[in-house]
Amino acid sequence: MRFAKLATWQLTAGAAVAGLALAAGSVAAAGPWDSGQRTAERERAAALEDRGGADHGTPASRKDGTDARARKTPAAAPSAPSVLAALAAPAGTGSAAVPEERALAKVLDPLLNGGSLGAQRTAAVVDAATGKQLYGKGAGEALTPASTTKIATAVAVLSAAGPDHRITTRTVLGPGSGKAANVVLVGGGDPTLTARKDAKGNASLRTLAEDTARALKAKGVDTISLRYDTSLYSGPLVHPIGLNGNIAPVSALMADEGRLDDSASGPAPRSGDPAADAARTFAKLLRDHGIKTEPSDPSSAKAPDRAEELASVQSPTLSALVERMLTNSDNDIAEALARQTALATGHPASFDGGAKAIHEQLQKLKLPLTGARFADGSGLNRADRLSASLLTALLARAADPDHPELRPVLTGLPVAGFTGTLRNRYADVADAPGTGLVRAKTGTLTGVNTLAGTVVDTDGRLLAFAFLATGTTDPKTAQSTLDRAASALAACGCS
């Protein structure tokens, strides 16, 4: 028994170290984008391997390009062989052997045919270099995808708006008469705007207040009437699931995702009117900088066309927002990115408009949309329907060297046993081979468990996979089965 424990520890540690080296290599292959998720991987890998590298930090900025926060000394990025080596060459030119369908079925069928996955289960495994399906089980059947929907949202927004796009929150000077000038706080849909003292690379409401106060004082203004504009978005604010700790009302203006506690991710008490709360906070920040607001409580109003801008702050790049959304399964960011897709493609920035924009954008990319239905951008809506074939096609397209703008879809996926929603999974002996090697987006609703991502097999081949299960009754057991299936791919020399 002592020997067995030692072997398990060695297996887990070996997989973790190898996986971290490969994960770190994917950062280098991914280009100049960065976010907290990849920083966390770098720090952990650097602690284990103590190797140097470069920093590619991209914090939020003022519109003039200056950082909205002081730069801290970056953590070193470890050097490592690239997990996405196939991305640097034409598809299909990788030297690693391609797994055979019969061999994959031998390792996956016993897991996917088990009773823990409920009444319906589908699966697909594809070669990421070529997009060729290597294994399928009802792969074309569309089921409820839960949060794996966010993979589709990520591909859509990156292809529609571009990875370098930033979301602007601004203040403008409105028309008015009398002693108090009219100032409008205009929401641009930034889901990461923060009022906290440590902005952590996000656009800061405090910075915007400071810059706005400076601009007003330069005009000799010390008293204003404050309004706020959320007209960029339309339609219902509340997600169809209703008021819920998993997502705030979706507004073009909010601070800290409308959270009423100090949390940064996960379920939390939420504001019923995040725009009004953000405006009240902004008014207080202005007063702290010597600008009086009369009345003290701001009201809603549309900013006039061609209004004079006083100040602005910008979000991190969309590539960074995509990574954060995928790593933490952030529903607020997901719905904001669906609306950014709508805005970039001429649709209303609403639940319906975002869903239509995502579908149309994926159609332009010639992805397999048979049976697909989008009802939101986050996957919280049970009306969403995606197939395993579509999910693996999305991942393969993100690995396509002809689409480097989609690379954050891969680099944002949680790393098994280390980051995001996979941080506390892959701890069991049966899951250990996938630790550090599996990168995947999780999906969980009552009776629904899904997992879609990438893995490097023992031959060094990058595979994309998707597993969907509906009608599950024990979510923990279902999750474990899906994790074991992904780990089986990591441990497979199936050529």
Residues belonging to the active site: 147, 150, 329
Tell me how long the chain is. 495
- Show the tokens assigned to 15: 């997989």
CA distances (Å), origin 187, targets 61, 193, 230, 317, 392: 16, 10, 6, 17, 35
- Give yes or no for a contact between 109 and 136, defined as CB atoms under 8 angstroms apart: no
SS3 439: strand
Give the single-character DSSP code of 253: S
d(CA 464, CA 442): 14
Whether 197 contacts 186, CB under 8 Å: no
CA–CA separation, 173 and 163 (whole Å): 31
> Backbone phi, then psi, for 411, in 5-degree steps?
-70, -20
In the numeric block, which tokens belong to residue 459? 């031959």
Examine residue 74 and say whether the peptide bond preceding it is cis (omega within 30 degrees of 0). no
Phi then psi for 487, rounded to 5 degrees? -65, -35
Q: Are 402 and 365 in contact (CB under 8 A)?
A: no
As a whole number of Å, the CA-based R_g of the chain is 23
> 252 forms bridges with which residues in the sheet?
none
**H or E stretch covering 19:** helix 2-30
Q: Are 479 and 425 in contact (CB under 8 A)?
A: yes
Q: 265: closest CA among 165, 216, 334, 170?
A: 334
> Sheet holding 448-456: strands in order across?
133-137, 120-127, 462-470, 448-456, 439-445
Any idea which residue has 């190898």 for tokens? Answer: 18
Q: Which DSSP helix (H) or strand (E) runs through 49? A: helix 36-49
Residue type, 392: T
- Rounded to whole angstroms, the Cα distance separating 165 from 321 reads 10
143 Cβ contact partners less than 8 Å away, ≥ 6 residues apart = 120, 122, 385, 386, 387, 448, 468, 470
The closest of 208, 108, 196, 118 to 168, measured between CA atoms, is 208
Q: How far is CA 341 from the centre of its chain?
A: 14
Please report the sign of the dihedral spanned by the C-alpha atoms of residue 404, residue 408, residue 413, residue 414: positive
